[in-house]
């Protein structure tokens, strides 16, 4: 605590050296733990998930901290058809599960619900906009980071639609992995 | 509380010169400096401090370089190699920080820990980049700030506190920009506040804490008004902020009356900024269109807001009551002015003309009070703030007439009468002391001018 001597503030003693040393060591452990959790959360769907193919429109912006990326606007981000709508109205910010089914090599939406389906392929997302006519959801797969030139190439090559390989874990958590070329003249990098 | 408290380092330098020239003794200099929480011995290691500042900036720039290097997205280098490289850099930098800390070389320790903290943040961003994490990206900044936060407690370093505060601010803004509420922002503010109030001094961090608190409180109200789904700006928030200004001004006066010289400086800094903010607010309300808009716009909870303004004024005044009339007189006037003006809006009659007139009179009185304070305390800053307030008001009102030419002429006549009345009252109260005081103010600024011209 601050002590006073003849009206002058005497700045208090720092936290004891031993305690501070332990605290710094704990901070290092905390930082490494956060990085490990982030890493495992990132690779888990790729290691143990199922690969599906989704259609998207790419746009190229720049992140302040992470470099250039292609923003992916998947078909499943905006759900408008009545038959997809859930039984109850979903709130903005709530978790939602979208059932997917394969049609000609591409996975398309079947049904949106607030509960995880018991069987079949499904992806976990969060409601960003909720209207009686449509929903807008994010699935955590909307960014694809690339060097600037490659990002621009992708954007120019794929003016309308492209396909991306996405891994989905059993819980519905998804991770985007690679871009797929569906055109013979495609110059998009394939990693 | 005098403005010289913001020039303490300059005062120490002056005192050293006085001792060198045998004007005062070393003991006398230390007694004088003790009044401001300083001593002749302070700041002796200026060379080392300069080295530390330059090293800190070098670390900061190296960190930015690392961030941009990672942003280039080195696809040619295997993912694992990139990640392990940054992890090793983070661990080794922090390890060096811990090593120097144990050897009690605190400055070197802080510099290494600062670089380690930046490297840790870059690692978060790198993993997000490698695995294309499109999830809510402010989370990355949040975990960065949270992972560094305990170091503020462990090292009590202002440099690391600044990094945490800056990251917390960025996180708050991007979170709010994406229509989310930064609920845990106060944690960062509280830890930085703990550091600067009880362990270290920093006017910059103090301003960050106060500004952060004000922004967060505004976001909270806006979030609540929007039903905790989105931000909705309501007219009531103007009253909310006026109330906050009154409370913070009372808090500033309370700090200025404390025995702690660092707290005195903090109080003075926030008081000066609040004074400027209050004058700007009054100038905005001095236009007829503004009051006209406030008269007919919708309010969410009008009487609750007016009641809050009443309570906020009482709280602010009770905090400032022991600081004398310079503290509570302008505060009471501004409080009553806003309270009465907004209460009158409920009458559903077009009163914008009268409220504009009242605002202009309040500005005239504020100008007079500032001039009076400047002369009474021999502080040229307040004196000239008052003079400039009156001149700007005259300039604005000459072009933006209230009630046409005759109305404008009447307003200037009212202002002239108030100024004349104030001057006569002053002469009566001050008697013979007044010329000396005015001379002191003029001399103090004249001296500054002479010095500048040299």
Summarize pLDDT for B241-273 with one digit per residue, the tens.
999 999 999 999 999 888 888 888 899 889 989
**Distance of residue B247 Cα from the nearest chain A Cα, in angstroms:** 25
Do A101 and A168 sit in the same domain of this protein? yes
Q: How confident is the model at residue B336, as a pLDDT?
A: 93
Q: Tell which wins on pLDDT, B14 or B44.
A: B14
Of A166-180, B37-51, B179-193, B310-324, the one with minimum mean pLDDT is B37-51
Task: Note whether B134 contacts A72, CB cutoff 8 Å.
Answer: yes
Instruction: Please enumerate in sequence order all residues whose Cβ is within 8 A of that of A130, keeping only pairs 6 or more positions apart, or say none.
Output: A89, A90, A91, A92, A136
**Distance of residue B159 Cα from the nearest chain A Cα, in angstroms:** 16
Do A62 and A100 sit in the same domain of this protein? yes
Beta-bridge partner residues of A51: A167
Segment B87-143, tens digit of pLDDT: 899 999 999 999 999 998 888 999 999 999 999 999 998 888 888 787 788 899 999
Residue A29 forms part of a structural domain: yes
Residue A8 forms part of a structural domain: no
Report yes or no for ipTM above 0.85.
no
Q: Is B34 in contact with B26 (CB distance < 8 Å)? A: no
Segment B419-447, tens digit of pLDDT: 787 777 767 766 655 444 444 444 444 44
Residues from chain B that touch A9, judged by Cβ atoms under 8 A, are: 37, 259-263
Which of B122, B126, B133 has the most A C-beta neighbours within 10 Å, making it the best mutation to test the interface with A? B133
Do A176 and A119 sit in the same domain of this protein? yes
Segment A39-58, tens digit of pLDDT: 888 888 888 888 888 877 76
- A143 at interface of B, judged by CB pairs closer than 8 A: yes
Do A40 and A118 sit in the same domain of this protein? no
Q: How confident is the model at residue B43, as a pLDDT?
A: 61
Do A141 and A69 sit in the same domain of this protein? yes
pLDDT at A122 over 90: yes
**Distance of residue A174 Cα from the nearest chain B Cα, in angstroms:** 10
Give how many domains chain A has, as a whole number. Answer: 2
Q: How confident is the model at residue A9, as a pLDDT?
A: 41
Do A27 and A116 sit in the same domain of this protein? no
Task: Note whether B259 contacts A9, CB cutoff 8 Å.
Answer: yes
Do A163 and A105 sit in the same domain of this protein? yes
Do A41 and A58 sit in the same domain of this protein? no
Residues from chain A that touch B148, judged by Cβ atoms under 8 A, are: 27, 31
Task: Note whether B129 contacts A66, CB cutoff 8 Å.
Answer: yes
Which of A11, A14, A35 has the most B C-beta neighbours within 10 Å, making it the best mutation to test the interface with B? A35
Residues from chain B that touch A125, judged by Cβ atoms under 8 A, are: none
pLDDT at A12 over 70: no
- Rounded percentage of chain A residues whose pLDDT exceeds 90: 14
Tokens of B20: 């060198």
Segment B200-248, tens digit of pLDDT: 989 899 999 999 999 999 999 999 988 888 888 888 889 999 999 999 9
- A188 at interface of B, judged by CB pairs closer than 8 A: no
Residue A21 forms part of a structural domain: yes
| DSSP of B217-286 | HHHHHHHHHTTTTS----THHHHHHHHHHHHHHHHHHHHHTSS-HHHHHHHHHHHHHHHHHHHHHHHHHT
Task: Give the range of the structural domain holding residue A163, as residue numbers without chain letter.
Answer: 50-180
Q: Is B256 in contact with B264 (CB distance < 8 Å)? A: yes
Do A58 and A41 sit in the same domain of this protein? no
Residues from chain B that touch A35, judged by Cβ atoms under 8 A, are: 87, 90, 120, 123-124, 127
Segment B338-380, tens digit of pLDDT: 999 988 887 777 788 888 889 998 998 888 888 888 877 777 7
Task: Note whether A140 contacts B262, CB cutoff 8 Å.
Answer: no
Q: How confident is the model at residue B390, as a pLDDT?
A: 86
B323: left (phi over 0), alpha (psi -120 to 50) or beta: alpha
């Amino acid at each position: 605590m601050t002590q006073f001597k003849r009206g002058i503030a005497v700045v208090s003693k720092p936290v004891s050296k031993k305690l501070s040393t332990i605290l710094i060591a704990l901070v290092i452990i905390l930082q490494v733990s956060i990085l490990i959790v982030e890493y495992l959360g990132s690779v888990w769907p790729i290691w143990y998930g199922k690969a599906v193919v989704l259609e998207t429109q790419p746009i190229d912006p720049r992140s302040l901290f992470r470099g250039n990326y292609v923003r992916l606007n998947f078909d499943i981000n905006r759900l408008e058809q009545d038959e997809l709508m859930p039984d109850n109205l979903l709130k903005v910010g709530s978790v939602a599960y979208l059932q997917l089914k394969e049609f000609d090599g591409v996975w398309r939406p079947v049904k949106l619900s607030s509960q995880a389906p018991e069987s079949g392929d499904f992806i976990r997302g969060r409601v960003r906009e909720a209207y009686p006519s449509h929903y807008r959801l994010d699935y955590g797969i909307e960014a694809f980071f690339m060097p600037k030139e490659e990002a621009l190439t992708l954007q120019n090559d794929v003016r309308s639609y492209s396909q991306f390989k996405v891994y989905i874990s059993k819980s519905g958590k998804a991770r985007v992995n690679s871009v797929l070329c569906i055109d013979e003249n495609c110059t998009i990098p394939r990693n | 509380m005098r403005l010289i408290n913001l020039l303490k380092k300059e005062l120490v330098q002056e005192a050293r010169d006085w001792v060198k020239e045998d004007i005062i003794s070393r003991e006398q200099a230390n007694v004088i400096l003790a009044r401001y929480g300083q001593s002749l011995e302070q700041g002796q290691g200026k060379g080392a401090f300069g080295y530390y500042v330059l090293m800190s900036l070098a670390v900061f720039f190296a960190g930015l370089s690392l961030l941009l290097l990672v942003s280039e997205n080195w696809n040619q280098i295997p993912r694992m190699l990139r990640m392990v490289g940054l992890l090793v850099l983070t661990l080794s930098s922090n390890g060096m920080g811990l090593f120097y800390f144990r050897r009690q070389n605190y400055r070197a320790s802080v510099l290494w820990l600062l670089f380690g903290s930046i490297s840790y943040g870059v690692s978060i961003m790198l993993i997000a980049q490698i695995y294309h994490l499109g999830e809510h990206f402010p989370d990355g900044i949040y975990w960065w700030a949270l992972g560094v936060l305990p170091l503020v407690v462990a090292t009590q370093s202002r440099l690391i506190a600044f990094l945490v505060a800056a990251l917390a601010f960025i996180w708050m803004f991007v979170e709010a920009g994406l229509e989310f509420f930064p609920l845990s922002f106060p944690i960062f503010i509280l830890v930085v506040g703990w550091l600067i109030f009880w362990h270290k001094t920093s006017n910059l961090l103090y301003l960050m804490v106060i500004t952060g608190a004000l922004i967060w409180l505004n976001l909270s109200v806006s979030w609540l008004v929007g039903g905790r789904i989105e931000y909705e700006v309501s007219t009531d928030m103007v009253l909310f902020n006026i109330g906050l200004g009154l409370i913070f001004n009372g808090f500033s006066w309370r700090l200025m009356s404390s025995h702690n010289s660092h707290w005195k400086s903090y109080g003075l800094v926030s008081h000066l900024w609040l004074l400027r903010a209050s004058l700007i607010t009054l100038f905005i309300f001095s236009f007829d269109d503004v009051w006209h808009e406030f008269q007919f716009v919708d309010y969410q909870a009008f009487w609750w807001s007016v009641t809050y303004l009443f309570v906020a004024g009482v709280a602010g005044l009770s905090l400032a009551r022991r600081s004398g009339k310079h503290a509570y007189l302008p505060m009471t006037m501004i409080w009553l002015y806003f309270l009465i003006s907004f209460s009158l809006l409920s009458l559903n009659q077009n009163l914008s003309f009268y409220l504009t007139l009242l605002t202009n009179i309040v500005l005239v009185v504020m100008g007079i009070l500032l001039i009076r304070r400047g002369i009474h305390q021999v502080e040229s800053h307040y004196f000239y703030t008052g003079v400039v307030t009156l001149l700007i008001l005259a300039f604005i009102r000459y072009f933006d007439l209230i009630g046409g030419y005759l109305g404008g002429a009447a307003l200037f006549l009212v202002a002239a009468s108030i100024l004349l009345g104030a001057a006569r009252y002053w002469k009566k109260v001050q008697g013979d002391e007044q010329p000396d005081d005015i001379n002191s103010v003029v001399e103090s600024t004249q001296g500054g001018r002479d010095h500048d011209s040299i």
